[in-house]
Amino acid sequence: MTDSPARRKPRRGLTGRPALDSILAELARADRELEERIVRREPVYRGHYMTLEKDAIVRPDGSDSSRDIVVHPGAVVVAPLDPQGRLLLVVQYRLAAGGALLELPAGTLDIHDGIPEDPEAAAHRELEEETGYRAGRMELLGGYYSAPGFVTEYLSLFLATELRPAGADRLRPDEDERIRTVALDWREAVTAVQTGVIEDAKSVAAILLLARRLEASGH
């Protein structure tokens, strides 16, 4: 059974830290011992860029079950940091949340001939569309699954610096997007996470990861 390119395996590389590398070894054992084998896959719904599939599985003990999986091509989240140490965030209405949320710029990878686009290219595009800025430097900080219990979406996190206005030829948001931009000192962004002002999971994770990076570098 051929997997969609959107179904990816966890990335695991040795860290050089004994406690963490021991956990990585345990995860590798769990891959072998706890694997749920897919025996049948049924597409239930196909949307613009997501597919809902029902997977019939066999557990290691031989018992049968099923999993409802949303197959998502993956996405990027961008932390745009200006020379004053401010993060550029966006405000947009989220129907699923029932209100407007404060978030970092982010977006889904485009699909070309069945293959998701390069995440860095997507990061540049989403930054320009949502904030009107371009980045002279785009650095990959890491990544994480958004909700691995039911969706394949993997988010690649980028730090965007050397920001400059895009100019008259800037890329515009999608027609159905209504976005406002907010500049917030990165320390205040951390406080916004801690106080619940920022409730968007991808932004919470990104801001806290970035904060550790900035604190370690003496910002």
Residue 132 near residue 169, CB atoms below 8 Å = no
- 40 vs 174, higher pLDDT: 40
What percent of the chain is modeled with pLDDT above 90?
81
pLDDT at 3 over 80: no
Predicted confidence at residue 8, as pLDDT, reads 75
What's the predicted TM-score (pTM) here?
Answer: 0.91
Tokens of 191: 């406080």
Model confidence at 219, pLDDT cuts 50, 70, 90, reads: confident
| Phi-psi category of residue 38: left, alpha or beta, with phi > 0 → left and psi -120 to 50 → alpha | beta
Tens of pLDDT, residue by residue over 40-81, are 999 999 988 889 999 999 999 999 999 999 999 999 999 999
Average pLDDT, the chain: 92
**What are the strands of the beta sheet with 99-103, ordered from one edge?**
99-103, 86-94, 180-185
Q: Each residue of 78-117: pLDDT tens digit?
A: 999 999 999 999 999 999 999 999 999 999 999 888 788 9
Q: What is the pLDDT of residue 48?
A: 83
Q: Which amino acid does the sequence have at 56?
A: A
In a 13 Å sphere around the CA of 112, the CA atoms on its Cβ side amount to 7
Query: Per-residue pLDDT tens for 12-46?
Result: 889 999 999 999 999 999 999 999 999 999 999 99
- pLDDT value of residue 168: 81
For the packed helices 201-216 and 186-194, what is the interaxial angle rounded to 10 degrees?
130
The mean per-residue pLDDT over the stretch 149-156 comes to 95
Q: Which of 117, 126, 175, 215 is catalytic?
A: 175
* Banded pLDDT at 133 (limits 50, 70, 90): very high
pLDDT for residue 114: 76
Catalytic annotation present for 175: yes
Domains of the chain (ranges; CATH) run 18-71 (no CATH), 75-216 (3.90.79.10)
